[in-house]
């Protein structure tokens, strides 16, 4: 087996050494540098949906924004985790999330970034569609008792009634992962929103 190479990069003006294949987020955490996350989970495959872990990269004088939980480290990268551009993006993302999910975890982050007043309103679904529940159920439990339905602004999370009725009662491990508390508060692990089996199967077939 090929030995993993060491990679050296700069995060917030500090030189950081990481292993090849690590994400910027992992490298930063190993170095004790904080980057907020919502849809990231160390046991699950990178997903990149909440975008709150966005950081600014520069290389050869050009800069761009990337999601640190997905982007893998490279030699010579210069990363800023709290640049003005990053902060601007994070703030607006938090405002957007608050519009539909005024959950405590999101409010705490919003406060941390100095958001005081609410500018947006949306359907209060209490779900930010981070997919932690869905991915945990599929990747770790391999039960697929919960999944996404709908697309665009209609996208939401539902339990598969038939699978859920057999496996969820004795598991409920997704409850503690949910950053908004929607799962434990709105369901007994059986079904959201009276969706039928057909609704569920339809979306399982549509491309991701």
Partner 1 sequence: MDFDELAKVGSMMGSGGMIVMDEDDCMVDVARYFLTFLTEESCGKCIPCREGIRQMLTILNRICEGEGKEGDIVMLEELSEVVQDASLCALGTTAPNPVLSTIRYFKDEYEAHIRESRCPAGVCKALVSYYINPEQCQACQICLRECPVGAIMGGKNIVHVIDQDKCTKCGTCLDVCPIRFAAVEKLSGRPVPAAPPQGTKVRRVKKAQQ
CA angle 181, 182, 186 (to 5 degrees): 125
Min dist CB 161 to ligand FES, Å, is 29
Q: How far apart are CA 15 and CA 28, in angstroms?
A: 11
Q: Does 71 bind ligand FES (CB under 6 A)?
A: no
Q: Which is nearer to ligand SF4, 127 or 164 (CB)?
A: 127
125: left (phi over 0), alpha (psi -120 to 50) or beta: alpha
- Which residues bind to partner 1, rule: CB under 8 A? 48-52, 54, 65, 67, 85, 88-89, 92-93, 96-97, 99-100, 119-122, 128-129, 131, 148, 150-155, 208
Q: Does 57 bind ligand SF4 (CB under 6 A)?
A: no
**Binding partner at 178 among partner 1, ligand FES, ligand SF4, none, C-beta below 5 to 8 Å by kind:** ligand SF4
CA angle 172, 52, 206 (to 5 degrees): 60
Q: Does 157 bind ligand SF4 (CB under 6 A)?
A: yes
The residue within the footprint of ligand FES, chosen from 18, 24, 28, 38 (CB under 6 A), is 38
Phi and psi angles of residue 15, each rounded to the nearest 5 degrees, phi first: -80, 130
- Nearest Cα neighbor of 78 from 139, 10, 140 is 10
80 pairs with which residues across the strands?
56
Interface with ligand FES by CB under 6 A: which range of 50-58, 115-123, 155-163, 174-182? 50-58
Residues that bind ligand SF4 (CB under 6 A): 127-133, 157, 177-180, 182-183
């Amino acid at each position: 087996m090929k030995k993993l190479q060491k990679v050296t990069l700069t995060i917030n003006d500090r030189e950081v050494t990481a292993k090849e294949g690590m994400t910027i987020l992992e490298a930063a955490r190993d170095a004790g540098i904080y980057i907020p996350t919502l849809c990231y989970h160390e046991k699950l495959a990178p997903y990149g949906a909440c975008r709150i872990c966005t950081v600014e990269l520069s290389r050869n004088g050009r800069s761009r924004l990337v999601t640190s939980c997905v982007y893998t480290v490279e030699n010579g990268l210069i990363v800023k985790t709290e640049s003005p551009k990053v902060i601007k993006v994070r703030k607006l993302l938090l405002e957007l999330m608050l519009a539909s999910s005024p959950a405590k975890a999101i409010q705490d982050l919003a406060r941390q970034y100095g958001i005081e007043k609410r500018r947006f309103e949306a359907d209060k679904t209490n779900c930010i569609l981070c997919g932690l529940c869905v991915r945990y159920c599929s990747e770790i439990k391999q039960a697929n008792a919960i999944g996404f339905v709908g697309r665009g602004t209609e996208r939401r999370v539902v339990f598969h009634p038939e699978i859920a009725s057999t496996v969820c009662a004795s598991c409920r491990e997704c409850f503690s992962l949910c950053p908004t508390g929607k799962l434990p508060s709105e369901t007994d692990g059986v079904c959201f929103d009276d969706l039928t089996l057909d609704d569920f199967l339809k979306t399982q077939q549509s491309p991701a």
